[in-house]
Structure 1
Amino acid sequence: MKTASMAEDLYDILGVSRRATDEDIRRAFRKLAKANHPDVNPGNAAAAERFKKITAANDILSDPEKRRQYDAGEIDGKGDPRRPFWGHAGAGARRGPQAARGGQAGAFEDFSFSDIFSDVFGGGVGAGRRDGFGFASRGQDLRYSLEVDFLEAVLGAKKRVTLPDGGVLDLAVPEGVADGQVLRLKGKGTLGSLGAEAGDALIEIKVRPHPDFKRDGDDILFELPITIDEAVLGGRVEVPTPAGRVQLAIPKGTSSGKTFRLKGKGVRTRSGAGDQLVTVKIVLPHDIDESLSYFFSEWRQKHAYDPGRK
C-alpha cells in the first residue's frame, strides 16, 4: 500500500498497466486531459493539479526512451535521474577502487559520486538545483496540443494555451501552419538545473476541417455551384477565398467538373503561395417550369448530341 510520502506511479496516474501500448497511453491521456483541463474546470484547483500530473506522466510515458529509463528505475516520475543507492560502509571500510577489486557483492556500496565531488571541490558543486548525479542538466520539453480553425491555420492567428499549473502561453500561429505541425517555444519548458538552459514548449497543431475549403499541400480546393444559364452563356461569378471574395470569369459552354486556377490564392508559406483550385458544378433549379421544359424539348429535337455516354 502506498504511503503519503511515496511518489505516485506514472502508470497509475494515467490508469494504464505497465504493458500498455503507445496507443493505450495516448488514448488514456487524451481522455483524462480533456476531463481535467483548466478551461473545462475554471477555478477548480483539484482538477488543475490532476491535469498537471497527467501531463507530466504523459511527457515521460509517451517518449520511448524516457519510458525505458523510468521502467528501469534510471529516472523518477519527474524525469530526473535517480541518485544511485550504494549504502554506507561501516567504520574502517575500504573506499574507492581498492574496495571495488575485492570481488564481493556490493563492492561499490562504500562510495558514491557525491564523495568524489566532495574530494575534488571541497564539499559541493555550487549553489543551485542538481540532477541525480550533481551535474547541470537541460530542462524538460513540455508537450501541448492546440486546435485551430482552418482559416486560422491558413491566415495565422494569435492564440492562448492554458498550462497545467494555470499559467498561459501566448502563441503566434504562423500563416500556413499544417495539421500535425509542431511549433517550438524556446525556453518555455521546465527550468534546467545548475544554470542549464530551460526546456522548450512543443505545441502540436490540430486543424479543424472547414465546410467548404479543403487543403492539398499548399493548394486550396473549392467546389463552386453555378446555374445552367451561367454554364451555357458564361459570365462572371464571385468565388470565396480565405482572404476574401474574388471574381471568376466562366466561359460559355462550361461543363460540371471543369477546374479553374486562382493563382496565389492558396496557402502562403515561407516557400511561397499556393493556388486555389475551383471546380464548378452545374446545379439545376429546384422547380423546372413549363417554359424551361418546352425550350429544352424543342432544342433537343434540333440539337441532340452525345456527351460521350457508352
Structure 2
Amino acid sequence: MADDLYAALGVPRTASEAEIKKAYRRIAKTDHPDLTDDPAAQERFKAASAAYDLLKDPEQRARYDRGEIDSQGQERPQRRYYRDFSEAQGNPYRGKPSYGDFSDVFADLFGEGAAQGGRSGFGAGWQGAGRGGAQSFDMRGQDHRYTLEVDFLTAARGGTTRITLPDGNVLDVAIPAGTRDGQTIRLRGKGAPGMGGGAPGDALLSVTVADDPDWRREGEDIITVLPISLSEAVLGSRVEAETLDGPVMLTVPAGASSGRKLRLRGRGLAGPGGRRGDQYVELRIVLPPQVDDELSRLIRDWSAAHPYDPRAGRGKRS
C-alpha cells in the first residue's frame, strides 16, 4: 500500500478531481491484473486503486491532506500519555495508580463504539475468561474499498463481471440492472479477516460506468444513436433499432433530419417503484462511402430547383 496516494497515481497534490480520475484510468488500462501477469504492474494497480478510492471522495481527501487519516483511510491515533488518563481519573501521579475501567481508553483509541461495548471496536468482543482467567477480544475485520469499471450496457441491463482482487482471489460480481456511476456494491465477508472470533469485513466496490459512443444516460432515460441512410431520411422507412430488451422495428418518418429524437416509452432504466424511463433514439444521417456522379448530379439539379437555407434565423439578435 503506497504511503503517498498522490505519488501512487502520479499526480501532484493540487490535482483536480478530473485529473485524478484520468490518472487512475490510465493506470488501470495497462496494469490491471486481468491485462498483465507482471507482478510490478499489478502492485502499481493495487496502489493506484486504493489511492483513487480515497481521493475521489472530497471529504476523505480533505481529511487525508490534513493528516487526520492515513493512506488506508484509517484514523491516525492521537498521542496520549499516562498523565492524561491519570488526571482524567482524578489521580495526577499521586498514590497508587487506579486502572479502573478500560472503556475510556478504548473510546479514545477506537471510538465511542468500543467504550460502549458496541458491535465494532475492541469493546465489542472484550471477554473475561472468569476470575483470574485470561482475557481476549473479538473484532470485525476492516472493509476494503476497490474501484470497478463496467461498460455501459452491463450497467444498464445488469449482468456479471469477473474481477481479480489484489490478494489474487477471483470473484464473479453481480451488477444490478440500472447501476449508476459512483454506486457502491457490497461484497459481504470479502474484506480483511476479523480478529479473535470477529467476522471478516466487506469489500466495497465503487462502480465507474465507462462511456459508450452510442449510448448515454439522463436520469432514468437513455439516448441511443441510430444511423440512417440518405434515402431512409428522405423517404421514410422501417428500420431496426437496438434497445436494452433487444432489437425493435422503428418507423423513421419521411423528411427526418439528423438529431431528431424518436421516443420509445418504457424502454429506459428502472426507477423508483420499478417504473422504467424512456428511450430516445437520435437519428444520424450517414452518406454513402463514396458520392458518385449520379448522386452529385441529382442533388445539384434538385437544389437548383428547390433552394432553401437550413441556417436561416441562426445568429440573429432582436
TM-score bucket of the superposed structures, by smaller chain: 0.5 to 0.7
Contact 2:128 2:134 in 1 (8 A): no
Post-superposition shift, 1:279? 2.2
Higher relative contact order (CA 8 A, sep 6+): 1
- Pairing 1:83-102 to 2, within 5 Å after superposition: 100-102=90-92
Tell me, which stretches of 5 or more residues in structure 1 are unaligned? 1-7, 88-94, 130-135
Letter in 2 for 1:281: R
- Pairing 1:126-145 to 2, within 5 Å after superposition: 126-128=135-137, 136=139, 138-145=140-147
Counterpart in the other structure of 1:132: none
Structure 2 residue 283 is the aligned partner of structure 1 residue 277: no
- Pairing 1:1-310 to 2, within 5 Å after superposition: 10-11=3-4, 20=13, 30=24, 34=28, 38-40=33-35, 42=37, 44=39, 63=60, 67=64, 71=67, 79=74, 100-102=90-92, 122=131, 126-128=135-137, 136=139, 138-269=140-271, 271-285=274-288, 286-290=290-294, 293-294=297-298, 297=301, 301=305, 309-310=312-313
SS in 1 for 2:136: coil
Post-superposition shift, 1:184? 1.6
Post-superposition shift, 1:102? 3.7
Q: Which has the larger radius of gyration?
A: 1
CA 243–86 in structure 1, closer or farther in 2 if over 3 Å, else same: same
Post-superposition shift, 1:110? 8.3
CA 97–228 in structure 1, closer or farther in 2 if over 3 Å, else same: closer
Letter in 2 for 1:252: A
Post-superposition shift, 1:57? 7.7
CA 240–40 in structure 1, closer or farther in 2 if over 3 Å, else same: closer
Post-superposition shift, 1:147? 1.4
Query: When the two structures are superposed, what TM-score results if normalisation uses the length of structure 2?
Result: 0.63
Partners of 2:26 and 2:228 in 1: how far apart?
A: 47
> Once superposed, what is the RMSD of the aligned Cα atoms?
5.1
Q: Which stretch shows the higher mean deviation, 193-202 or 153-162?
A: 193-202
Query: When the two structures are superposed, what TM-score results if normalisation uses the length of structure 1?
Result: 0.64
Letter in 2 for 1:180: G
Contact 1:48 1:165 in 2 (8 A): no
Contact 1:14 1:29 in 2 (8 A): no
Contact 1:154 1:268 in 2 (8 A): no
Paired residues in the alignment total 282
Partners of 2:134 and 2:23 in 1: how far apart?
A: 38
Partners of 2:5 and 2:264 in 1: how far apart?
A: 54
Partners of 1:307 and 1:51 in 2: how far apart?
A: 51
Partners of 1:40 and 1:101 in 2: how far apart?
A: 61
Q: Which stretch shows the higher mean deviation, 141-150 or 226-235?
A: 226-235
CA 127–59 in structure 1, closer or farther in 2 if over 3 Å, else same: farther
Letter in 2 for 1:206: T
Partners of 2:223 and 2:128 in 1: how far apart?
A: 69
Partners of 2:246 and 2:165 in 1: how far apart?
A: 35
Identical amino acids, percent of aligned pairs: 36
Partners of 2:155 and 2:50 in 1: how far apart?
A: 28
Q: Which stretch shows the higher mean deviation, 198-207 or 289-298?
A: 289-298
Tell me, which stretches of 5 or more residues in structure 2 are unaligned? 106-125, 314-318
Contact 1:175 1:269 in 2 (8 A): no
Partners of 1:36 and 1:109 in 2: how far apart?
A: 56
Partners of 1:67 and 1:38 in 2: how far apart?
A: 27
